[in-house]
Amino acid sequence: MTTIAVTGASGFCGSYVATAAAALGADVLCVGRRPGPVGRHIPWDAARTTPDLSGADVVVHCAAAVGDPVPGSASEAAMRSVNVDGTARLLEAAAGRRVVWVSSASVYAPGPGRARITEEHPVRGQLNAYGRTKAAGEALALAAGAVVLRPRAVYGVGDPHLVPRLLSRVRRGLLLLPGPSVRLSLTAVENLADACLAAVDWPPGAYNIADPAPYDRDAAVQTVLRAHSTPARIRHLPLRAARAAAAVTESLARVRPDEDPPLTRYAVDQLAHSVVLDVSKARSRGWTPLRTLSDYPAALIAATVTG
């Protein structure tokens, strides 16, 4: 029986990977500060220590610090200690083992020209600390011969980041989005979990991971709002105004650097431009994404009933 160590198994993505691995019959080691949903807990503070991976055949590294902290803040330094320094310690402990390292499409260069992003798209010029630290961490992983997965906008039941941020932006039944609607790739957490386990047998390198087809931004947002019984009218904020507002909120956030600003240049960039991942490289290895956003409302209802 294969023993799979899943870092960050108490978190959103890691918990899905650990549960899926156990369902396939693997022995699961949940590596992180808190126990995961299955298997045995291996304590690890990614920001400070080297994990004990003895007994593991394979490592799936999902642990990460997320957010959009103010440049130069303590939060940015903490993010680097997990996403970069923690990666170095993880790779040291995993020497000789197969490693699947979960990165992000945030590593790709911003701006236009992302209507069909392959893995050869430039990795540079990231607009926030998350993108920069994930790019630095994945560079270490690639140099060590790991498989690196680059999902975009991971969503699903239990998501503590993407959907809560969206819902929090609704004011008096109105949601402002920057610019007109565009085509965007999203990634169901179940599709990412399947890819993490399939990628154990893939050749080293980077692979895009996303749902089978991109979505119309406004239609996708409405699907999520309806699923959470949060009706709202979408209005388009001119892109120039959105960028100006982001610049102001980022400047004001420097007064309170321990809190992420409510609007950033990164958020505007990710919402206002088409960002579509080409997943043909992962598909060529036999991976098929089965979930789509249309499955999300029913999954949310099922989780509410069972919970």
Output the average pLDDT for the chain: 93
According to the model, what pLDDT value does residue 151 have?
A: 98
Q: Provide the residue range defining the domain that includes 99.
A: 3-306
Tally of structural domains, the chain: 1
Residue from 30, 33, 1 nearest 15 by CA: 30
Q: Is residue 26 predicted with pLDDT exceeding 80?
A: yes
User: What is the predicted pLDDT for the residue at 255?
Assistant: 66
| Residue 3 φ/ψ, nearest 5 degrees | -105, 120
Write the pLDDT tens digit of every residue in 124-160: 999 899 999 999 999 999 999 999 999 999 999 999 9
Dist. CA 261–CA 199, nearest whole Å: 35
- pLDDT higher than 80, residue 258: no
Token pair, residue 152, equals 């975009």
Determine the pLDDT at residue 265.
86
CATH of the domain at 194: 3.40.50.720
State pTM to two decimals: 0.94
* Chain centroid offset of residue 148 CA: 12
Tokens encoding 120: 């050869």
